[in-house]
């Protein structure tokens, strides 16, 4: 795998297909491969195939249906042709899933803002407090920082969202778990070429091929996304590639190889807006965004291997290993005057991270007393080695360029964990699920930027936690489940939170403590009819030493520990077939997120000592009290199909002091498509989608505790998207 950064990928961003060179993009290579592989598969389709027994690997780590898991677990099957969506944002597949909220920043320099039951809402970029996996391989680094930008929806089969106490079995920063699984190769080779175009000079091109060649099933997808952006100074170019190969090794053994790549050479950062700027022109960028040319480039390459073996009728073995490399360069809007401080680390952030890990899991099933049981025993180890450098964002009077070195250090994290689960259906109407996990997380910094005015800031800190969980399920009828569960979780600060001290001094914020939580849940699952399931859950999470944003100025955030917090509420969902060719997915969440204790916070940066009091029972910023979505579809895969999506989000506070709020909103999206059967195995899907049909003015996301008062990131006006997909 070539991890070298491709210089040709740094082309100037163009918005017309004629300006792209197909021979120089991975998309073109995928198109050629998508034609060659199915032809080869057809030539070898007569070869004998060995069918392996299915080994269910899902968010619960158990070989039981999600209906029988005593936890809030949603499974969404992904259809890339549905809804007329281009497959750019992860939020496209989450309609109707309760608990989870994906907020569209309209800013690809920061990724989507994803929270589950209020965990993750403070993230100024990327995903925090939630564990992210792709095909069973972590997309969250061991320090707890993750992203969903590497998800490729063209190759996806399903998404699983686990909420509540059992999330803690995934360790550090597991306020919830999101897993995306790629589809297996199809018995009949299939290739799909797609193109989408729409508002704000947005275009997306994709190719996906899947099939079986001898003992190997494959699913390969590549795409390129270009957009001028809804707001000024928000252009983006992103290339995404994903490949999964399942290799039948015989004797009930299987090896899965997953390759993933994302290259985002340009993502301009429009930054947030003040209330007055939103009222004046919601599509503008702040002056400093253009002045400093705030932007971000990202490249990531990753490989993962999963080995599965059925040892006997009662025993299974799974081993996973992965390795990746991620490079980021980000230009912030920090003024040169601020950087005169010799302890200031500069306005250009450039971390280069190598990461990897392994997981070994043994599953055993059997019978105890009169009931069946399943036991899981596993251990994992993950590491990240990050060379973090910082530079001035000016040379002389020229701003927005890389200048003198101001930071040079190696920031390493190691996480070692052991875990166990035990599921016992001990009598026909009762089932018990127990779990236990122990984590050791060690952060270490090796400082190589040492001057007479900037001393050696090397150091290390370790965190550990043992997190138990228990769930009890009652089955009064075949179509009804009642359950109760409890678990303890913890969350260390990530390097993005440790990386800068709120007092403005150099070095890492090793004074930050891990947040520890107690999680409770009561729930029910009811299969109303053969096709409709209704779920409900009441939950509460009590956290001490909550990690909060202390200061957030010019794109750089620092953090501190607050007192106790509480997140509690209810979830309701209904999914399934309403009638022949009619499908519904609806979810609603009521969430009350409060600081239980008063504390002192910062109002400026640097902040040697917090002085501004935050009253007890204040709202946690960035968390709406009510949110939900509904998706209604009609169609059967041929001819016409139509869809309606409703999204509603309540108001949110923008800072700990609750001095301003982003109003709630409701959005309506409609879409329609038609499928032409051009032959026995050839079809053409045409689609059209109108988003924000009522042309509502709304705030898509907020930047919590922004020191300049630029809290608001406006959502787009009414927009359209047209698409065509050819499958053969």
- Spell out where 332-392 has E strands: 348-368, 371-391
Task: Quote the mean pLDDT of the chain.
Answer: 87
Give the highest mean pLDDT range of 27-36, 596-605, 707-716: 707-716
Q: Are 420 and 377 in contact (CB under 8 A)?
A: yes
Closest alpha carbon to 377 in 465, 309, 316? 316
Domains of the chain: 7-56+184-727 (2.40.170.20)
Examine the pLDDT at 590 and tell me if it is beyond 90.
yes
Q: Give the per-residue pLDDT at 433.
A: 95
* Residue scoring higher pLDDT (499 or 583): 583
Confidence of residue 143 (pLDDT cuts 50, 70, 90): confident
CA–CA distance, 263 with 8 (Å, rounded to integer): 11
The Cα–Cα gap between 723 and 709 comes to 39
Per-position DSSP letters for 435-490, written without gaps between them: EEEEEEEEEEEEE---BTTB----EEEEEEEEEEEEEEEEEEETTEEEEEEEEEEE
| Residue 117 reports pLDDT greater than 60 | yes
Which of 338-352, 353-367, 470-484, 714-728 has the lowest average pLDDT? 338-352
From 124, 105, 127, 104, select the one nearest 116 (Cα to Cα): 127
Q: Are strands 131-134 and 176-182 parallel, antiparallel or unpaired?
A: parallel
| Residue 664 confidence (pLDDT) above 50 | yes
Q: CB–CB of 565/175 below 8 Å?
A: no
Least confident range from 48-57, 248-257, 592-601, 684-693: namely 48-57
Residue 668 near residue 719, CB atoms below 8 Å: no
Categorize the per-residue pLDDT at 31 as very low, low, confident or very high, splitting at 50, 70 and 90. Answer: very low
Q: What confidence category does residue 554 fall into, taking pLDDT thresholds of 50, 70 and 90?
A: low
Q: 123-127, 148-152, 235-239 — which is least confidently predicted?
A: 123-127
Q: What is the pLDDT of residues 261-277, one digit of tens each?
A: 999 999 999 999 999 99
Q: How confident is the model at residue 252 (pLDDT cuts 50, 70, 90)?
A: very high
| Model pLDDT for residues 292-315, shown as the tens digit of each residue | 999 999 999 999 999 999 999 999
Read off the pLDDT of each residue in 31-40 and give the average, rounded to a whole number: 39
Q: Is the pLDDT of residue 33 over 80?
A: no
Three-class secondary structure of residue 189 per DSSP: coil
Q: Give pLDDT tens digits for 73-95.
A: 999 999 877 766 788 888 889 99
What local confidence, expressed as pLDDT, does residue 505 receive?
75
The per-residue pLDDT for 3 is 36
The pLDDT, as a whole number, for residue 97 is 96
């Amino acid at each position: 795998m070539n991890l070298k950064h491709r210089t040709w990928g740094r082309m100037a961003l163009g918005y017309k297909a004629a300006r792209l060179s197909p021979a120089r993009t991975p998309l073109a290579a995928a198109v050629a491969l998508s034609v060659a592989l199915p032809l080869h598969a057809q030539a070898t389709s007569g070869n004998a195939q060995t069918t392996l027994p299915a080994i269910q690997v899902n968010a619960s780590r158990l070989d039981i249906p999600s209906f029988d898991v005593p936890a809030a677990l949603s499974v969404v099957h992904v259809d890339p042709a549905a809804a007329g969506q281009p497959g750019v944002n992860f939020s496209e597949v989450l309609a109707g899933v309760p608990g989870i909220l994906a907020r569209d920043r309209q800013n690809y320099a920061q990724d989507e803002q994803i929270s589950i039951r209020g965990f993750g809402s403070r993230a100024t970029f990327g995903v925090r407090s939630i564990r992210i996996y792709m095909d069973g391989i972590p997309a969250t680094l061991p320090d707890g920082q993750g992203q969903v930008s590497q998800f490729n929806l063209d190759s996806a089969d399903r998404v699983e969202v686990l909420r509540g106490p059992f999330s803690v079995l995934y360790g550090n920063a597991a306020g919830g778990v999101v897993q995306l699984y790629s589809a297996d190769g199809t018995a009949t080779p299939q290739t799909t070429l797609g193109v989408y175009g729409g508002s704000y000079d947005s275009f997306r091109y994709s190719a996906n091929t899947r099939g079986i060649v001898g003992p190997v099933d494959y699913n390969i997808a590549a795409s390129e996304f270009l957009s001028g952006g809804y707001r000024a100074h928000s252009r983006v170019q992103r290339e995404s590639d994903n490949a999964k190969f399942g290799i039948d090794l015989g004797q009930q053994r299987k090896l899965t190889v997953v390759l993933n790549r994302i290259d985002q050479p340009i993502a301009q950062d429009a930054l947030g807006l003040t209330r007055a700027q939103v009222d004046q022109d919601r599509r503008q960028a702040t002056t400093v965004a253009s002045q400093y040319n705030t932007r971000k480039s990202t490249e990531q390459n990753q490989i993962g291997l999963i080995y599965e073996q059925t040892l006997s009728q009662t025993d299974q073995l799974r081993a996973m290993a992965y390795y990746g490399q991620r490079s980021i360069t980000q230009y912030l809007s920090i003024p040169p005057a601020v950087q005169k401080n010799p302890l200031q680390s500069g306005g250009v952030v450039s971390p280069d991270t190598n990461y990897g890990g392994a997981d070994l899991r043994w599953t055993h099933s059997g019978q105890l007393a009169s009931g069946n049981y399943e036991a899981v025993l596993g251990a994992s180890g993950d590491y990240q080695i990050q060379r973090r450098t910082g530079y001035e964002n000016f040379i002389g009077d020229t701003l927005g360029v890389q200048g003198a070195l101001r930071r040079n250090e190696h920031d390493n994290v190691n996480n070692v964990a052991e875990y166990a689960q035990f599921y016992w259906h001990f009598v026909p109407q009762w089932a018990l699920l127990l779990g236990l996990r122990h984590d050791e997380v060690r952060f270490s910094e090796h400082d190589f930027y040492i001057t007479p005015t900037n001393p050696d800031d090397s150091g290390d800190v370790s965190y550990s936690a043992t997190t138990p969980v228990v769930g009890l399920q009652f089955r009064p009828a075949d179509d009804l489940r009642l359950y109760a569960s409890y678990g303890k979780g913890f969350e260390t600060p990530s390097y993005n939170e440790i990386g800068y001290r709120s007092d403005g001094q150099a070095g890492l914020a090793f004074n930050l403590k891990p947040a520890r939580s107690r999680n409770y849940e009561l729930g029910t699952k009811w299969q109303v009819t053969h096709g409709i399931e209704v779920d409900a859950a009441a939950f509460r999470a009590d956290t001490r030493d909550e990690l909060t944003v202390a200061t957030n100025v010019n794109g750089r955030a620092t953090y501190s520990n607050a007192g106790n917090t509480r997140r509690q509420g209810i979830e309701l969902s209904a999914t399934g077939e309403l009638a022949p060719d009619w499908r519904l997915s609806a979810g609603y969440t009521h969430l009350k997120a409060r600081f239980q204790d008063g504390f002192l916070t910062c109002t400026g940066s640097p902040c040697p000592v917090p002085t501004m009091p935050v009253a007890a029972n204040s709202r946690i910023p960035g968390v709406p009290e009510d949110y939900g979505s509904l998706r209604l579809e009609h169609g059967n895969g041929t001819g016409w199909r139509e869809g309606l999506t409703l999204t509603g989000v309540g108001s949110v506070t923008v800072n700990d002091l609750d001095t301003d709020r982003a109003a709630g909103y409701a959005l309506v999206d409609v879409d329609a498509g038609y499928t032409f059967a051009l032959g026995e195995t050839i079809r053409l899907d045409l689609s059209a989608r109108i988003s924000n049909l009522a042309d509502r003015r709304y705030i898509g996301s907020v930047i919590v505790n922004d020191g300049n008062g630029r809290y608001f990131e406006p959502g787009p006006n009414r927009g359209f998207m047209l698409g065509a997909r050819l499958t053969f």
